[in-house]
Amino acid sequence: MLIVRSWLQRLVPGMALGAASWLGVPPAAAEPARGLVYPKPQKAEVVDEYHGVKVADPYRGLEDPDSEASRAWIEAENKITFAYLGEIPQRERIKQRLTQVWNYEKFTSPKRYGSRYFFLKNDGLQNQYVLYVSETLSGEPRPLLDVNAVSPDGTIALAGMDVTDDGKLLAYGLSAQGSDWQEWRVRDVESGKDRDDLLKWVKFSNASWTKDGKGFYYSRYDEPDEATKFEAVNYYQKLFYHRVGDPQSADKLVYERKDQKEWGFTGEVSDDGRYLVIRVNKGTMRKNLIFYKDLQNDAAPVQELVRDFEAEFDFIDNDGPVFWSRTDLDAPRYRISAIDTSKPDRAAWKTLIPEAKDTLTATDVVGDHFIASYLQDAHSQVKVFTLDGTMIREVPLQVLGTAGGFEGRRSDSETFYSFTSYLHPPTIYRYDVKTGAANAFRQPKVAFNSDDYVTTQVFYRGKDGTPVPMFISHKKGLKPDGANPTLLYGYGGFNISLTPMFRPSNAVWMEMGGIYAVANLRGGGEYGKEWHEAGMKLKKQNVFDDFLAAAEWLTANKYTNHSKLAIAGASNGGLLVGAAMTQRPDLFGACLPAVGVMDMLRFHKFTIGWAWQSDYGSSDNADEFKALLAYSPLHNLKAGTSYPPTLITTADHDDRVVPAHSFKFAAALQEANSGPNPMLIRIQTKAGHGAGKPTSMQIDEVADQWAFLVRTLGMTVGDKADDSGTPGKGKSGPS
């Protein structure tokens, strides 16, 4: 099944540059934010009591983004922010260079359905990727779905898709303005025309066709209230079957649980067409159930195979009644097990590929082989096994990077994968499963010379002595003189791993003389279940401590100094930045929190926020409330503190992390800050959490962020003395 999900959310097109003098403008000196007068949002005497503790929430009114007062505040904040950014002379040249670097052909790995191959392509600066189909691998591809034609401003995005086994029908979902809500349609591949099918109120769902191509399974919620659809909580997801040609009202309800409002369902038809496998999730908890239905018997009930939320189970494939699964049950770094549905007792489960030292992150079965992807200290390692679990080879990967793809069917002789690093954009490879031959299939041509740059991996000690890996990328010949502008990025949550990936924005940053560092914090999935759980709930402070320790290591080892060190993160990473800057405002020269979770006491009251309680805990629990209050960025701002220059970014249609988090944090930060540094918020309109954001919006946002850093870090980009590649020292950053 071809799903536009994690790779589309993470892939940021682009590539790099030449000498550090391309800006061609005078050096920027760090300077105070003179004349900034922030708007005063309405304040109210709102006080909540949690377990005997009273907590004020004076900016509660900003939780309604559509009120007259909120709209006025948003407009006033944007006016200040864009005026400030527009005055930075390097900003336009940064945008021009980002545009040049971004402008190269980008492809995803092709996948075969029937005799046809399907893949996504972006010519360079298209706002959204275009779906192509080719009758043969070497044939001339034709565009099948171009959402750019539907939305000239690029605010409608492809959110997911699946193709019938014979390659004749496409089911695809679209999201508008960055919302998680999707509408699904069906397109005839031969004619390129849509049928009448229209499915609404779909969210957090895939589509999976039956073997006969007559219909597909998908998940949806009940129709929400139009006025609150971007803020109201999402409960009671249901799994449906849609038969092509029928109205949505005729769709068959396959499974629901009226007694479990938090359960979500993902239906997947096994490659042999025999089973509907249902993954049952509870929020973002990395533990799930596995149910299934025998599709040979329409009256067959849904069977519960894995009944307890005690581990993660990813269905891989099946051999008749035997289901293969990747699981961390009794294996914190995952193994592959075989479960015979005719003998479902746990005592009969078998291990095919045992847990290894490295973390098993994904597995597929292609050409009667398991292709297993591992993380070895946060970079990819791929191994090929026979179906009895015997390892036969590794897929050769030359540098510290990330390999992804390897999709296919048991009958396929070939598969495709992409490989990328911090310095190399994704190259697509064709892999012969039988021989192990890997040949470059599509290789991008970009304006960035990776030979001029280097990525190294270091291990530093967290506050409690735990070794933590960090990737550091920069131009070759960089001198560790303690004066290099440095951007430290992190995430640290939800079992998500940060692995090497090329982004044109970071290529431009490095060409400007910057160091780009990524810390693989606890809370992520780099080392499996134990690494994740070490940064959850009552242990969440470990994540922030690891991040602060990374900052201290970079300064202690003379990569940079506090006035030249910026930090960035998005979503849970935005929370990370918010917590770090409120706990150690002295440590940073600038902060870039994006779409962050900033109010840790009320996050579960909006849209899908309740699902994050698996990682964060809840203010409804006395012990967890205490931990949340201790680090919640909104609640740990202290009046009279001089905070580092800060540019908050969010979007008015973000229905994942609602913009109220950033709104309230910005208002409170502006009120609390005592120093001259700018405290700005950039509020994108007609956009959401980030997935599907148009290329033009991405370039504009990064140009603003890099310009902000040029000014606040006092960077000397553009100084002709910098042609050697050694970053200029510039003047001291703001205090």
Task: Kindly list the catalytic residues.
Answer: 571, 689
d(CA 688, CA 229): 13
Closest CA relative to residue 714, chosen from 26, 34, 85, 24: 26
Q: How far is CA 266 from CA 6, 82, 291, 503, in A?
A: 15, 42, 10, 31
- List the one residue out of 57, 11, 13, 3 whose CA is nearest residue 599: 57
Number of residues assigned to the chain: 735
The C-alpha atoms of residue 172 and residue 84 are separated, in whole angstroms, by: 41
Helix, strand, or coil (residue 671):
helix
**How far is Cα 414 from Cα 435, in angstroms, rounded to an integer?**
10
Give the whole-angstrom CA distance, residue 366 versus residue 417.
12
Is 249 in a helix, a strand, or coil?
helix
Cβ atoms of 520 and 442 within 8 Å: the answer is no
DSSP for 39-59, written as a single string: --------EEEETTEEEE-TT
Q: Which of 647, 654, 646 is nearest to 684 (CA)?
A: 654
The CA distance from 450 to 9, in Å, is 24
Contact between residue 586 and residue 565 where contact means Cβ atoms under 8 Å apart:
no
d(CA 159, CA 148): 14
Let me know: does 382 contact 394? Beta carbons within 8 Å: yes
In 66-212, DSSP assigns E strands to 106-107, 111-113, 116-122, 130-134, 142-146, 156-163, 169-176, 182-188, 194-202, 208-209
C-beta pairs of 295-299 under 8 Å, 24+ apart in sequence:
295/210, 295/211, 295/269
158 alpha-carbon distance from chain centroid: 16
- DSSP reduced 3-state for 123: coil
**Crossing angle of helices 572-583/541-556, nearest 10°?**
70
- Eight-state DSSP code of residue 287: -
Element (H or E) spanning 85, and its range? helix 68-86
* Stretch (H or E) spanning 575: helix 572-583
Nearest CA-CA partner of 209 in 168, 155, 180, 256: 168
Q: Can you read off the two tokens belonging to residue 211? A: 């073997």
Rounded distance between C-alpha atoms, residue 566 and residue 589, angstroms: 6
DSSP 131: E
Contact 217, 276 (CB under 8 A): yes
Max CA pair span of the chain: 77
The CA–CA distances, whole Å, from 720 to 30, 31, 726 equal 19, 22, 11
Residue 159: alpha-carbon gap to chain centroid: 14
Question: Is residue 116 a contact partner of residue 138, using CB atoms and an 8 Å limit?
Answer: no
Using a 10 angstrom Cβ sphere, with 0-12 exposed, 13-18 middle and 19 or more buried, the burial of residue 307 is exposed
Q: Which one-letter DSSP state was computed for residue 608?
A: T
Whole-angstrom distance, CA of residue 255 vs CA of residue 303: 11
Positive or negative: CA dihedral 706, 708, 714, 716: positive
Are 688 and 179 in contact by the 8 Å Cβ rule? The answer is: yes
